[in-house]
Chain A
């Protein structure tokens, strides 16, 4: 009996311990009622606050909250001044001079041109091993390629602090989209003294960062969420009207939606399946993203090397219906390689509009091309479609399979689902026939898509598409004499898209990502950008 008592006591003790350890007093911020606060749900946890190591949208959004760049993008994707109060561009378009505004880091030291020099050098330093180091080369900063690969010393990079408040960038060739990219976190400044002092602990906690943006990070709990509090020292603090912005990490969209309906969350992302239930509600928002999903075809595969087959596949997929019936989240049918609303020419005409639709649904034409393909390849043609094991990936893959097998009698499509990282591995080693894959734009210019399929681009041209005419058009547009002539450059980019999509079917565009969200009525000021980082800095709650 004594022992039984002990056991019972032990059990009671366990209950009490379990109770105690969670029995923290409720921490209620006394100011919460008077402060304005917006709570945003994120379905991906914050990976890093080091803006040179970030690769995902969640991290980039958090970084734009607390840090700042030379410019920020307005709701029309146009660069507006931020840390730079003005800038001059030389007549040949090769030298940008930024004049910095007077503002301080959160430890009181001023933000100087040297912070940009240090930040930009750190981005491409080998020790940093940043996955975004390529972007320095993208904006054509002088000697960027050689410095990034370590062939040249970092002093050779075309950037200079003329004085504390003047930052000069020299380019190898003019770059139309440079200013817009200055709003991208990779190009944000970093305080050298502080970062060096923190070493490998930099940005791992809220105290290990210096802030220069509209907010400071006041709380960060891995796996749970993070919180931003208004930075009164930000140079444009008067324009910021929300005191606290909290991001809560909730993986399950259903649970997030329940919290939204309970009034505990203000901004929530919906999955495609949830759209029907809420699309009539106040606050339902459909946004278009810059992500393009396309079928990468492997030219090393004898079946897919056949152009008639590729043409048949492209004609046989009903992209409109797919977006409307399967995806439902505001996604739209792809019309070409360049997404809608990514880039405009000098007259403000969208690239997509000016180059017209490059792909369409035409089952009759599909059948015709398929017969030609059958003559070359035999009556039964089988291909394997590789895709990643997400909800949307699965439904799109199954829809394509159904389209192809119905519209092209004799075609057998097998599905192969793999986790994303494995899918990418298989693509890089050429171990696939067709793969449903995507590309997110790094900047608002068609080049971000067209560069991928240059014959020598071993990183992205997984299908080994090889067209000298295409290479020539893209290179002429980006590096040749036309690079500095906007109109001529635009024509070449259009021509390049025609070659790879309409003429060669080097890849087969499928759809452009949408995103359905619930934004509580009364909340305004969230700016979505098809290229670059969505802006949550200027949110207003009525």
Chain B
């Protein structure tokens, strides 16, 4: 297992390097420049390019950047927060995004599992129908619509939680965005759990378990859910990354100082180093999450562990 993980980590690092290169090339082709303003003349532009080393040839800039990155230096912001270290900007904001993303994931998974299991157990009853309706709504209604609704009714009308992020009341501020973000996860997990559970519950070994007279909750948890979980974990990986990277609109609505809103601002402002670093961090998160999921498979299903050569 250890060797397998090491190998996977090595591949992940190589992939990240390639991604960095591709990002660099893409930025090179992006029209516009961070220093572009009605008021700016050519001489000043040249001064700015020289100041930030943007007039060096492409490969020199790339290798300088990659070298600095290994030392934790992601360059400075040119537009959003002039001359701020990008690493500090990202670090501060990543924490907020991750907290909300994980909260949404946990909430979404728990509620989704419960809904899915209930729907499967009460197959073809009103419970099942209700769970399906919730799933369909969750998948088809964009999260920002839900977010606006929450902001208006729960935040404004009822006044239960802050509408926009308040650093002095951070925990409460994350509740509405967490709920808004979790809806999609709830819907997805519920759908998968339901169909997997129905599959498993109708299989022969469950019949055997039942005939042995094992208590129902034990049967569900130990025999049915465990087997139903594997495909669910497969979808959880992309869902989690989706939550971390796809929260841009939610962050905008709730004014959360997260990494998603930073990405939007950076792209609009051609803030090269910030775009590069955020995209890089997104890729790293994705690869890291997939790695964790792969390892989790092994824990849950011994067959996968064996097949992967432990």
Chain A interfacial positions (CB closer than 8 Å to B): 1, 3-4, 6-7, 11, 14-15, 18-19, 21-24, 26-28, 45-48, 50, 53, 55, 126-127, 129-134, 149, 200, 204, 221-225, 248-252, 254-256, 258-259, 261-262, 264, 418-422, 424-426, 428, 437-440, 442, 458-460
What is the CB-to-nearest-CB distance from B297 to chain A, in angstroms, rounded to a whole number?
12
Given the complex of chains A and B, what is the CA–CA distance between A23 and B172 in angstroms? 9
Given the complex of chains A and B, what is the CA–CA distance between A421 and B300 in angstroms? 51
- Between-chain CB contacts (< 8 Å), 8 pairs: A4-B222, A21-B99, A24-B171, A47-B79, A53-B83, A134-B41, A256-B255, A428-B36
Q: Is the CB of A26 within 8 A of B47?
A: no
Main secondary structure of the interface of B (DSSP, over half): helix
Q: Is the CB of A425 within 8 A of B33?
A: yes
What is the CB-to-nearest-CB distance from A364 to chain B, in angstroms, rounded to a whole number?
35
Q: Is the CB of A22 within 8 A of B79?
A: no
Q: Is the CB of A45 within 8 A of B265?
A: yes
Given the complex of chains A and B, what is the CA–CA distance between A255 and B261 in angstroms? 15
A-B contacts counted at CB < 8 A amount to 166
Given the complex of chains A and B, what is the CA–CA distance between A244 and B252 in angstroms? 26
Given the complex of chains A and B, what is the CA–CA distance between A21 and B40 in angstroms? 44
The interface-forming segment of B18-26, B124-132, B151-159 is B151-159
Taking residues whose C-beta sits less than 8 angstroms from the other chain, chain B's interface range is: 35 or more
Given the complex of chains A and B, what is the CA–CA distance between A225 and B261 in angstroms? 14
Given the complex of chains A and B, what is the CA–CA distance between A134 and B252 in angstroms? 36
Residues on A with C-beta less than 8 A from B102 are 14, 18
Given contacts A255-B254, A439-B38, contact A223 B93 (CB under 8 A): yes
The interface-forming segment of B114-122, B160-168, B189-197 is B160-168
Given the complex of chains A and B, what is the CA–CA distance between A196 and B35 in angstroms? 25
* B32 within 8 Å of A (CB atoms): yes
Given contacts A18-B102, A223-B262, A421-B269, contact A131 B44 (CB under 8 A): yes
The 8 closest A-B pairs by CB, nearest first: A223-B257, A421-B32, A459-B41, A48-B82, A224-B257, A129-B47, A22-B171, A250-B255
User: Which residue among A14, A53, A259, A458 has the maximum number of chain B CB atoms within 10 Å of its CB?
Assistant: A259
Given contacts A18-B102, A129-B44, contact A3 B300 (CB under 8 A): yes
Q: Is the CB of B171 within 8 A of A222?
A: no
Q: Is the CB of B222 within 8 A of A1?
A: yes
What is the CB-to-nearest-CB distance from B85 to chain A, in angstroms, rounded to a whole number?
8
Given contacts A15-B106, A252-B253, A425-B32, contact A438 B222 (CB under 8 A): no
| Chain B, 170-209, CB within 8 A of any chain A CB | 170-171, 174
* B42 within 8 Å of A (CB atoms): yes
* B9 within 8 Å of A (CB atoms): no
Residues on B with C-beta less than 8 A from A458 are 41-42
Given contacts A14-B102, A22-B170, A223-B262, contact A262 B83 (CB under 8 A): no
What is the CB-to-nearest-CB distance from B166 to chain A, in angstroms, rounded to a whole number?
9
Q: Is the CB of B163 within 8 A of A258?
A: yes
Given the complex of chains A and B, what is the CA–CA distance between A19 and B100 in angstroms? 10
Given the complex of chains A and B, what is the CA–CA distance between A189 and B7 in angstroms? 58
Given the complex of chains A and B, what is the CA–CA distance between A7 and B225 in angstroms? 13
Q: Is the CB of B95 within 8 A of A21?
A: yes
Q: Is the CB of B221 within 8 A of A4?
A: yes
* B226 within 8 Å of A (CB atoms): yes
Residues on A with C-beta less than 8 A from B64 are none
Q: Is the CB of A55 within 8 A of B39?
A: yes
Q: Is the CB of B106 within 8 A of A259?
A: no
Residues on A with C-beta less than 8 A from B255 are 224, 248-252, 255-256
What is the CB-to-nearest-CB distance from A259 to chain B, in angstroms, rounded to a whole number?
5
